[in-house]
Structure 1
Amino acid sequence: MAAIGFALLLIAGSLSLSGCKAHADAEQSYDTPSGLPVPRWAALRAKEVNARNGPSTDNAVLWTYKQPGLPVQIISETRDWRLICDPSGGVAWVSRTLLTNRKQVLTPAGQKVQIRADPNETSVVKAVVQPRALVGLDKCDKAWCRVSIDGVTGWLPQARLWGAQDGQVCQRPDLLTGLGPPPAS
């Protein structure tokens, strides 16, 4: 009889947990030093961010970023360092203190994009944005993202924005090839 009561308790517990899936997802912890998922998006916080070949200030500086707000994808982490990939495909370690979770995206290089009033191609154009512009990201829904720049809020196609992808866009480098900028084409 006790076994039946315990089984019913387990079933009731699983039913109550399944009804709270959205709440459970919001509180999900990942097996990473930060407890956050990897990969994930971040942005550079400072005017100068040193990109290093390892997770320590003892490691060599590969280059220095000079564009605060630049979106990057975190592809690995230690307690104090994040392995990031940038829009050019460069991969390096940066201090976690130099990153923010503020949502920024980058418009495509070589072409202007039109911010639309509504999430469709026939909607009124509210503004035209220069190539490689940093744009604030509010949310993405059904292949369109709500963005803002210079006081203008509207919609851009998600596929045209670097930093708005849902999944992994950067690969963790092979240990034998090392870190650094993408190979010249």
Structure 2
Amino acid sequence: MRLTLIALTLASLATLSLLPHGAAFSQEAPAAEEEESSSGTAGEGPAPAAAAPVARSGSKDCPPGIGCVTRRPLPRYVSLKGAEARARRGPASDHRVDWIYQRQGLPLKVTAEYENWRRVEDSEGAGGWMHFALLSNNRSAMIMAEMADIYDAPGGHGSLTARAQQRAVVRLLECQPDWCRISAEGIRGWVKKSDIWGVEPGEVFE
């Protein structure tokens, strides 16, 4: 039996691009973001405004584990809506850009909210603040195992139908306590939840 290999694409190799301090950023900002400073470069121009206060989950205004803006759970997982987005040091468009994400569908974890901004983390714990319009509620996951086996049924009792390489990004369709059903490159099947990043250990959804 010939197995399909879900490989790491060239686009996902550039998932994270560190923007050095003072480096010019000549690409046009995504339409969903607010206008850049007049200098046209990241890390230059007027000093960024002081970080805005963030109402934290568990304060008197927010129940524990609930976002103060959306009233949705924190943390929670989302995905990158477009092919590129900037993560900033604070929740405003005049804060310095620390990271540029270049992988549509990349899973991200929302850890805080402030007005129209969400603080997100990637699978390595890096991240920053993004405008909510750059994020999608569609669920995805990143393969963390060196090679993840994909079965046609959960529990590892079904037939092995494909394998996915480490850091490949897949769509999440549903999750059971220990297994998740995924889709990628026309393949659908079940992987161990421990082999992916983008879902909480005990999270179950359809």
| TM-score, L = length of structure 2 | 0.63
> Which one of the candidate residues 78, 85, 97 is aligned to 2:121?
85
Q: Deviations over 1:94-137 (max 9, x none)?
A: 1111000001000016x111110111224211111121111111
Distance 1:37 1:142 in 2: 18
Equivalent residue for 2:78? 42
Equivalent residue for 2:35? none
Equivalent residue for 1:133? 168
Structure 2: unaligned runs, 5 residues or longer: 1-65
Q: Deviations over 1:150-177 (max 9, x none)?
A: 1111100011110022479xxxxxxxxx
- 1:146-185 residue pairs with structure 2 within 5 A? 146-166=181-201
Distance 2:73 2:105 in 1: 20
Q: Note the C-alpha offset of 1:48.
A: 1.4
Seq. identity, %: 33
Distance 2:84 2:185 in 1: 23
Do 1:159 and 1:165's aligned partners in 2 also have CA atoms closer than 8 Å?
no
Q: Deviations over 1:56-99 (max 9, x none)?
A: 00100012111111101000001200001101110311111100
> Which one of the candidate residues 142, 149, 172 is aligned to 1:114?
149
Letter in 2 for 1:77: E
SS of the equivalent of 1:120 reads: helix
Distance 2:167 2:118 in 1: 24
Task: Give the number of aligned pairs.
Answer: 138
| Bigger proportion of residues as helix | 1
Farther-moved stretch of structure 1 (83-92 vs 158-167): 158-167
Going from structure 1 to structure 2, the CA distance change for 1:31 and 1:57 (only over 3 Å counts) comes to closer
Dislocated runs of 4+, deviation >6 Å:
none
| TM-score, L = length of structure 1 | 0.70
SS of the equivalent of 1:93 reads: strand
Cα RMSD, aligned residues only: 1.7
Going from structure 1 to structure 2, the CA distance change for 1:88 and 1:31 (only over 3 Å counts) comes to closer
Do 1:105 and 1:163's aligned partners in 2 also have CA atoms closer than 8 Å?
yes
Q: Is 1:74 aligned to residue 122 of structure 2?
A: no
Equivalent residue for 1:143? 178
Do 2:179 and 2:191's aligned partners in 1 also have CA atoms closer than 8 Å?
yes
Do 2:67 and 2:112's aligned partners in 1 also have CA atoms closer than 8 Å?
no
Distance 1:103 1:116 in 2: 20
